[in-house]
Structure 1
Amino acid sequence: MTDEFPEFQLRLPNGGPLARGRQTDEPGTNGSRRFVVGPGQPARPDVVPSFSTRAASAHRRREELIAHGDIRQSQRWPGWLETTGEITFNSSSEAAAVLTGGNINGYIAWKAEDGRPLSDFMPGTGWGPNRAWLVRGSNVTGVDVVQRLWLPEGYVTLAATRIRQGVTPGTSKDQLRTFVEEDYESALTYNQKLGLVDALHAFLSRMKPGDTVCTISGGQLYVGEITGDAEQTESEDGRSNLRRPAEWQGIGYDYDDLPEELQQKLSVQLDIVELTSVQALIEGLGLTDEELADEAEAIDHDPSVEIPAITARRELELPEPTDGFAAELLVHSTGWLREVRDLLWDDRQLVLYGPPGTGKTFLALKLAEFLGGGREQVKLVQFHPAYAYEDFFEGFRPQEDPDTRDVAFRLTAGPLRELADLASREGNRHVPHFLVIDEINRANLAKVFGELYFLLEYRNRSVRLTYSGDDFALPPNLFIIGTMNTADRSIALVDTAMRRRFAFVELSPRREPTSGLLRRWLTSKDKEPEPADLLDALNSRIVDADFKIGPSYLMKKGVYRDGGLERTWQTKILPLLEEHHYGEGIDIEKQYGLKALRRSLRSTAPEPPA
């Protein structure tokens, strides 16, 4: 044992006693560094239910130590166990797991007297909070090294068949770039070389013992912990030249059952992908909230702080519309609002379509604010023919430097990117966020959405962005409500790609909730029903359903001042119908004017009783 490391302490759960141990430089069975616990150190008398599956090798070691009398009932700490002699463990995590009876990261749990974790004392670079990584190994030169090497022998590897010997942890990225350029001069394309440099730098210098590592094989996600430094070897087939020791859990998790946000990260097509943003989801795999609480107890978790894995899996919910909300919107039925809510929940993209004046934008905003819990979670954008991807998502725009007054093109986020970034922040992931797109049919959607069009249908995938080069996925809690004016474009002309990605809900004067909206509004304002009668008579004369007139034109204060109804009819409603019948030779005033409609209503009114 070396004096390089101080004595480390481990607090046992439920305010239990302190166990002490020392880190060594001696290599373990797979290259990890051994950890020694001396005699008379306390151990938990029981284990958490998930221990045997989440830390199978540590569980077996604990059972063997108890069976051989190396751990037995303690006289010093009644109700606890204690070690009877010096025990050498394969890693600090194995030592911590055996003593606490739970799956535990020893590089964080073992602390020096001043409170610093063991990880701070390990040599090498990249120390700090532990991270999570995906390392692909299921198809390395046609061989699944996960099943062949990683799981049975306790490793994670990175193929680097041509890289020179002597590459070590801490090698700078610039040095690696030079090595790859020289060693793979004609063997890889430019982009492949860039990808290899990033993978080598992550594997050698950013990963560290204590980090979580994941891989995919045979439709299963396997999770483990990196337990040692990287080393370079000469494997026979050249498939595992760089390796790190790792302790793998004894179980795999079905890929199709993984949380959507985790699937998005796993879909990134790189050899090594950082998964730290979804690390809490990984920690909660296969465990109930009760089992997670048991594991937290094993590491003496502060009960006043919510367990991150439980927080991360908090269910996203859209609230059920209430009768009060339906009454506020003057909607005929709460059930209709619930149906719209269910469509949003199922598809996450919805279009409200109908003729002008049917309240599409008003309803979209009110729905978004109610379902999202406030205006802070809602962003409105209006499409138009000149609208482009650079306006909507991200692009280079001229911006002035406030100090130098120079103007330069800088990558700038658009409304969708801004809202997606807000929705994906930690603490926001269970809160619904809404993007309301007004006049969605007025822009070229394929041009505006670009590669994001794919994500509207495949929410569990990610894509590489055009400008920034980031791997991006739409957060599960981001919903889109569009509005579409059918007087501009009939729904029959909407391309099938858009039809497949959005649910469509009609708002038409022909049916509820629009058909009776004006009458309900007039009643709520204690006004005479004549405007509703006139609107019904007008729409009965309009044959084309896409050009029927919505009630919102007549739901404004100005309509009910002296001469207001006549002004609205002449300046808002009749011009729409003139445009619709342009070139047909129809007398718009005679067909749709107030005088004509009022005469029609008088002629059809029932005779008063004698």
Structure 2
Amino acid sequence: MCVNEDSGGSPGRFPEFRLRLPGGEDIDRATGALLDAVGTNGSRKFLVRAGSPARDHVMPSFPKHFSGTFKRREELRAAGILVPSHRWPGWLELTADVECGSPSAAAEILVGAPRNGWEEWRTEAGTPLSDFMEGVRSGPNRAWLVRGSNVAGSDLVHRLWLPEGRVTLSAARLRQGVEQGASKERLRAFVEEDYGTTATYNQKLELVDELYTFLSRMKPGDTVCGISGGRLYVGEITGAVEQTVSEGGRSNLRRPVDWQSSGYAYDELPEELQQKLSVQADVVDLTSVQGLVDGLGRTDEELADDAESAGHDPSETVPALAARRELELPEPDQPLADELLVHDVEWLREVRDLLWDERQLVLYGPPGTGKTHLALRLAEFLGGGPERVKLVQFHPSYAYEDFFEGFRPQEDPDTREVAFRLKAGPLRELADLASREGNRHVPHFLIIDEINRANLAKVFGELYFLLEYRNKSVRLTYSGDDFALPPNLFVIGTMNTADRSIALVDAAMRRRFAFVELSPRTEPTKGLLRRWLAAQDRGAEPADLLDALNSRIDDPDFRIGPSYLMKKAVYREGGLDRTWRTKILPLLEEHHYGEGVDIAKTYGLEALRASIAPAPGPGEPHA
């Protein structure tokens, strides 16, 4: 909020600050000073000098989300204090000094758009205002979540934070006089002494982290978020920490905040932001998703205009725009269908749509149906290259420590000593790659070959939950990190039904994966060998033999896939007979073990060739 200068504020111990207006290369910069006076919520006030220019329009979403500042701007115009400028046609100009509740509110009055005044008000030499605040860390602004919707049974967000312009943290037993900027070691000693046996060891560790963040890491200009009533509220920290006595000790550490006028429906927030907001802690660092927070309620056009207004280098990507770049899975095309010898490109598009909807998919079928090859090639196409695809193969002894993370013996290259160290597995490595800034709109794929050969509950551990609830995070077993599966990470499993029928797959796995059958009885597998033989200019006899073989196998899970006969070695002299004898018949011997079936007589090449030989015509001798 802004008022006229006669409210009693006076310039403090700081130099004059200037503000560059968007598109204002040919006009003077606005000028102002930080005041010693503070508002009712503890914010440092800021004085904007008469003669400062202002934009003659506001961002379209500004009246909704910054209604208080917009209203004050309109009041200044109505009062003849913010008027059309004679010096700079097309601009407005202040005719009197105006006192504002914070540097950001002052900048927003002039620009008509969200502004971080702590960074944008600068000295003649270019030093930002934030560098002049004692006891405040330097560096770029960050974003934080502070929980206040259920503090000792009270909703502080609506009761205190929004109406009074604050954010608070409970520290009921912490001694008075703890200064802003206190080190973590100092806070650890205070908590140990002040809380004693009233808190457990883990509670004290968490409390030290929360206090350190609130007291020493947060700074004016940082973004702060609170959740209440299914809505996310966003504001900007506008001043220093205040320690006071409060009812029940629920809000005795306070910081002033300039809250936006309206909240955002939680269910409509981007999934990646929901993941971070689900972390179970009272203070959470949201800086990794700050771009998503900054973009809430604003269109791409507004963000681009805002970046240009702030003097953003046009050759660089705007963080808020980059963060909201949409994840896409390209549509499979006919060249891909031709390469994979799939009968219909629409089948591939359906698989792509299942991946998009479910994000986890299993290709299942008998041996030799091309499950792994299809999974790899499809993932490379959808992800844009093999560097975004990782393959692992499950087996009975595979464990969580192999798959995600665990302590493994490693030799120190310097001391040659062996010690157990936390080592990331393939899923953690791929998740870290997928969640890097700049990668979040690019699909990444984990291929799990033979997914049914491992104990999935043992391998996935708490991550099994994340396969179903992608907008949540969990606390990891070993590292203790809060972890969520990146939205751009997709999982494709392959399942050999000769090892385990799909009917035996437990309900938990069925719920988390879509299942696509690759079977010799249905397309695209049914006609795959014929299409391959035609492409190779070879005769159709191997396809006829395979069809005849599978017609004699009653159990569809044990029918033989075409990939056994799609290798060059098969078509060298004696290759077909050798492959049949050493690859295909042993599979059927295992299937009929103990049944007394004559495998060669039933499934051998001689018997099958006889069955597909054309019947002799009239008068022709039988073979």
CA distance in 1, matches of 2:92, 2:332: 56
Consecutive unaligned residues of structure 1, counting only runs of 5 or more, are none
CA distance in 1, matches of 2:616, 2:42: 94
The equivalent residue for 2:58 is 47
CA distance in 1, matches of 2:154, 2:49: 43
The equivalent residue for 1:585 is 596
The equivalent residue for 2:544 is 533
Query: 3-state DSSP class of the match of 2:612?
Result: helix
Question: Is contact 2:135–2:180 with CA below 8 Å preserved after alignment?
Answer: yes
Out of 435-444 and 24-33, give the one that drifted further.
24-33
Cα deviation code 1:479-501 (max 9, x no counterpart)? 00000111111111111111110
Structure 1 residues 110 and 607, CA gap change in structure 2 (3 angstroms): farther
Structure 1 residues 83 and 128, CA gap change in structure 2 (3 angstroms): same
Aligned partner of 2:218 among 196, 207, 212: 207
CA distance in 1, matches of 2:435, 2:161: 33
The equivalent residue for 1:241 is 252
Q: Equivalences for 1:398-477 in 2 at 5 Å?
A: 398-477=409-488
Out of 123-132 and 554-563, give the one that drifted further.
123-132
Aligned partner of 2:175 among 156, 160, 164: 164
Question: Is contact 2:365–2:557 with CA below 8 Å preserved after alignment?
Answer: yes
Question: Is contact 1:51–1:102 with CA below 8 Å preserved after alignment?
Answer: yes
The equivalent residue for 2:18 is 9
Q: CA deviation at 1:159?
A: 1.1
Question: Is contact 1:54–1:103 with CA below 8 Å preserved after alignment?
Answer: no
CA distance in 2, matches of 1:405, 1:115: 51
Q: Equivalences for 1:330-369 in 2 at 5 Å?
A: 330-369=341-380
Question: Is contact 2:447–2:493 with CA below 8 Å preserved after alignment?
Answer: yes
CA distance in 1, matches of 2:261, 2:331: 41
Aligned partner of 1:38 among 25, 30, 49: 49
CA distance in 2, matches of 1:200, 1:298: 36
The equivalent residue for 1:494 is 505
CA distance in 1, matches of 2:238, 2:12: 21
The equivalent residue for 2:580 is 569
The equivalent residue for 2:290 is 279
Query: 3-state DSSP class of the match of 1:216?
Result: strand
Amino acid at match of 1:301: H
Consecutive unaligned residues of structure 2, counting only runs of 5 or more, are 1-9
Out of 229-238 and 455-464, give the one that drifted further.
229-238
Query: 3-state DSSP class of the match of 2:127?
Result: coil
Amino acid at match of 1:84: T
Aligned partner of 2:382 among 360, 366, 371: 371
Query: 3-state DSSP class of the match of 1:481?
Result: strand
1:302 correspondence with 2:313: yes
The equivalent residue for 2:277 is 266
Q: CA deviation at 1:348?
A: 0.3
1:503 correspondence with 2:503: no
Aligned partner of 2:301 among 287, 290, 294: 290
Q: CA deviation at 1:80?
A: 1.5
Cα deviation code 1:389-436 (max 9, x no counterpart)? 111001111111111111111111110000000000111110000000
How much identity, in percent, do the aligned residues show? Answer: 73
Cα deviation code 1:40-64 (max 9, x no counterpart)? 1111111111221222222122122
The equivalent residue for 1:174 is 185
The equivalent residue for 1:232 is 243
Query: 3-state DSSP class of the match of 2:149?
Result: coil
Cα deviation code 1:502-553 (max 9, x no counterpart)? 0111100011100100000000000010000000000001111111000000
Amino acid at match of 2:201: Y
CA distance in 2, matches of 1:79, 1:546: 76
What is the TM-score when the length of structure 2 is the normalising length?
0.96
Q: CA deviation at 1:82?
A: 1.5
Question: Is contact 1:132–1:275 with CA below 8 Å preserved after alignment?
Answer: yes
Cα deviation code 1:539-592 (max 9, x no counterpart)? 001111111000000000000000000000010000111111111111111010
Q: CA deviation at 1:606?
A: 7.9
Aligned partner of 1:22 among 29, 33, 37: 33
Out of 213-222 and 162-171, give the one that drifted further.
162-171
Aligned partner of 2:120 among 96, 106, 109: 109
CA distance in 2, matches of 1:504, 1:246: 50
Question: Is contact 1:100–1:299 with CA below 8 Å preserved after alignment?
Answer: no
Question: Is contact 2:12–2:34 with CA below 8 Å preserved after alignment?
Answer: no
Q: CA deviation at 1:152?
A: 0.8
Q: CA deviation at 1:3?
A: 6.0
What is the TM-score when the length of structure 1 is the normalising length?
0.98
1:121 correspondence with 2:151: no
1:479 correspondence with 2:498: no
Q: CA deviation at 1:297?
A: 4.0
Question: Is contact 2:148–2:227 with CA below 8 Å preserved after alignment?
Answer: yes
The equivalent residue for 2:330 is 319
Q: CA deviation at 1:123?
A: 1.2
Q: CA deviation at 1:202?
A: 0.5
CA distance in 2, matches of 1:435, 1:186: 47
- How many residues are paired up? 609
Question: Is contact 2:64–2:262 with CA below 8 Å preserved after alignment?
Answer: yes
Amino acid at match of 1:90: G
Question: Is contact 2:12–2:36 with CA below 8 Å preserved after alignment?
Answer: no
Amino acid at match of 1:29: T
CA distance in 2, matches of 1:286, 1:425: 24
1:153 correspondence with 2:164: yes
Question: Is contact 2:545–2:608 with CA below 8 Å preserved after alignment?
Answer: yes
CA distance in 1, matches of 2:417, 2:73: 66
RMSD: 1.5
Cα deviation code 1:117-136 (max 9, x no counterpart)? 21122111322100000000
Amino acid at match of 1:72: V
The equivalent residue for 1:67 is 78
Structure 1 residues 112 and 487, CA gap change in structure 2 (3 angstroms): same
Q: CA deviation at 1:2?
A: 5.5
Q: CA deviation at 1:291?
A: 2.4
Aligned partner of 2:194 among 159, 168, 183: 183
CA distance in 2, matches of 1:89, 1:157: 23
Q: CA deviation at 1:68?
A: 1.8
CA distance in 1, matches of 2:341, 2:85: 72
The equivalent residue for 2:7 is none
Amino acid at match of 2:272: E
Question: Is contact 1:48–1:298 with CA below 8 Å preserved after alignment?
Answer: no
Question: Is contact 2:11–2:47 with CA below 8 Å preserved after alignment?
Answer: no
The equivalent residue for 2:3 is none
CA distance in 2, matches of 1:154, 1:217: 15
CA distance in 2, matches of 1:220, 1:431: 29
CA distance in 1, matches of 2:184, 2:315: 42
CA distance in 2, matches of 1:300, 1:128: 19
Amino acid at match of 2:466: L
CA distance in 2, matches of 1:607, 1:393: 69
Query: 3-state DSSP class of the match of 1:184?
Result: helix
CA distance in 2, matches of 1:406, 1:118: 50
